């Protein structure tokens, strides 16, 4: 009986860790997708022509910040940054 309780407790702990990992993976994927889209948008001439050099600089700076956040791997900061960008993590 004690063995079963131990297994159940371990399963609950693994479940919590799995939920944390999934939350983190979703946030990283959403931010990585945003970075990809922004980089590609800057490469398009029709969009690039419409932007001022200051706007392009701001976008490139945001891309660097987002890339650094992914490298740091801090889930709460990632989610806050996504919210600031108006993106939702589902």
In a domain, 56, yes or no: yes
In a domain, 60, yes or no: yes
In a domain, 13, yes or no: no
pLDDT of the chain along its 90 residues, tens only?
A: 888 899 899 999 899 989 988 988 888 888 889 889 889 988 888 887 888 888 888 888 888 888 888 877 666 777 777 777 765 554
In a domain, 14, yes or no: no
pTM of the full predicted structure?
0.69
In a domain, 69, yes or no: yes
Domain containing residue 88 = 23-90
Helix residue spans in 44-74 (DSSP H) = 45-50, 53-72
In a domain, 1, yes or no: no
Contacts of 63 (CB under 8 A, 6+ apart): 35, 38, 39
Structural domains of the chain, count: 1
Q: In whole angstroms, give the CA distance from residue 50 to residue 63.
A: 19
In a domain, 65, yes or no: yes
Q: In whole angstroms, give the CA distance from residue 85 to residue 72.
A: 18
In a domain, 40, yes or no: yes
Q: In whole angstroms, give the CA distance from residue 90 to residue 88.
A: 6
């Amino acid at each position: 009986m004690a063995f079963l309780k131990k297994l159940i407790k371990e399963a609950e702990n693994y479940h919590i860790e799995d939920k944390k990992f999934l939350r983190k993976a979703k946030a990283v994927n959403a931010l990585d997708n945003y970075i990809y889209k922004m980089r590609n948008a800057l490469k398009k001439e029709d969009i690039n022509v419409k932007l001022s050099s200051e706007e392009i600089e701001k976008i490139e700076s945001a891309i660097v910040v987002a890339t650094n956040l992914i490298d740091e791997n801090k889930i709460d900061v990632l989610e806050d940054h996504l919210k600031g960008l108006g993106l939702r993590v589902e």
